[in-house]
Amino acid sequence: MQPRGEGAGLVGTCGQVNVNGVKHNGVNLARSLVATHDLVCVQETRYRDPAHLSKFVYHLNSTCSHKHFCSDPRASEPCSTEPARAGVMTLLSPRFPGFENAAAVPSATIQGHYLVVETRTESEHYVIHNVYGPQLHKADFFARLAAMQFPDDSRHLVLGDLNVVLDPPIDSATGEVRDAGARQQALRWLAQLGVVDPWRVHHPSEKLFSGLLPRRNRLDYILVDGPTVTHHYSGAEYFAHHHGGDYLLHRVSLDQLPVRPGPGYWRCPSSLLAHSEVAGAITNEAADLLATLKDANNPGLVWDAWKRKCRDFLQQLDAGIRREATAEVRKAAALVEQTNADFIADPGEATQ
């Protein structure tokens, strides 16, 4: 997939939360998240019956303009005697690209565990995967997901509690490889979608656990397509919420881009100015400019010429950094594919 072109919308802030342990503050938590996030995916909704879901939606609608999509076993079965379990819900704010035509994909739904929502803009097709991994038969579950097909131009976002540790040495307190088959199928599925873990990319060695207390693993993930992370990553964090439950919440932020009026428009990414060498060069140039402007006959022309010079310098630097980042993403994707192939060919050798 290529970087977004003219007029493309961009996802802003994505949030993910397992609401296990949330008792009476579910609506307050949802209101808070929808107000500050463009996309929220919730796991373990555990509605008692359809009336419980309707009541939740009624109270949420009283203060929020949003769309919701839900897959919860008891929310669709008024006379069910099964215990409340599992359940996933996806909430979209009007800021999300393609909000007006957002729709669930019933053929892809796995009741209570997997919900797909699609949105479209003039230039983009977003596929949102809300996942709550099962406790049993995990390998079969992720193999089923890997068998699903989506258009080649899709941009995928995966949010959820996978119930699988993707990187045991740093995502688990013990470092042990458990559910190796499930992990292999999950990695295969994620590689097919072309998504990466933004938090791990920018925190390559940090051990942070998000699960039930006492926290011993990281099962909660937000994964985004590689080019978007490369060009638009703004931040990622795990955090506690005063209305939250037993799990930490997870958030990933992506820079919003303005609608481009034409192909010549360029916006300097804020990350470029974070480099001390770049900031120092601009500061020195600005100091020289101030001295020149004092004696200039036409300071406006001098100012415009300096801006063009500065822009050209930053554009060339940005293009070089983007090329290097894209090459690294492709290299990492090729390594994942090769590792998957090696594991399938000889599982014992690949895990040693």
Q: How far apart are CA 282 and CA 312, in angstroms?
A: 12
Give the pLDDT of residue 165.
Answer: 93
C-alpha distances (whole Å) from 350 to each of 154, 175, 185, 340 are 31, 16, 14, 9
Domain assignment of residue 330, yes or no: yes
Question: Mean of the pLDDT values across residues 268-290?
Answer: 84
The overall average pLDDT reported for the chain is 80
Instruction: Work out how many domains the chain is built from and give that number.
Output: 2
pLDDT of 261 > 60? The answer is no
Which pLDDT band holds residue 316 (cuts at 50, 70, 90)? Answer: confident
The C-alpha R_g of the chain, in whole angstroms, comes to 23
DSSP annotation of 4 reads: P
pLDDT of 140 > 80? The answer is yes
Cβ contacts of 340 within 8 Å, gap of 6 or more: 184, 187, 188, 191
Domain assignment of residue 345, yes or no: no
Domain assignment of residue 350, yes or no: no
Q: Are residues 159 and 301 in the same domain?
A: no
Q: Are residues 85 and 209 in the same domain?
A: yes
pLDDT of 244 > 70? The answer is no
Q: Are residues 289 and 249 in the same domain?
A: no
pLDDT tens track for 36-67: 889 999 888 866 667 776 777 766 666 677 89
Instruction: CATH number of the domain at 249, please.
Output: 3.60.10.10
Determine if the pTM surpasses 0.75.
no
Give the pLDDT of residue 146.
Answer: 94
Give the pLDDT of residue 257.
Answer: 44
Q: Are residues 242 and 274 in the same domain?
A: no
Flag the least confident range among 17-31, 242-256, 290-304, 309-323.
17-31
Q: Are residues 80 and 189 in the same domain?
A: yes
Give the pLDDT of residue 324.
Answer: 83
| C-alpha triplet 234, 237, 241: angle, nearest 5° | 130
Domain assignment of residue 347, yes or no: no
User: Which residue range is the domain that position 315 belongs to?
Assistant: 270-340
End residue of a domain, out of 254, 289, 308: 254
Task: Tell me which of 182 and 310 has the higher pLDDT.
Answer: 182
Sequential DSSP letters for 87-140: -EEEEE-TTSTTGGG-EE-GGG-BTTTEEEEEEE-SS-EEEEEEEE--SS-HHH
DSSP annotation of 217 reads: B
pLDDT tens track for 216-236: 899 999 999 988 888 889 999
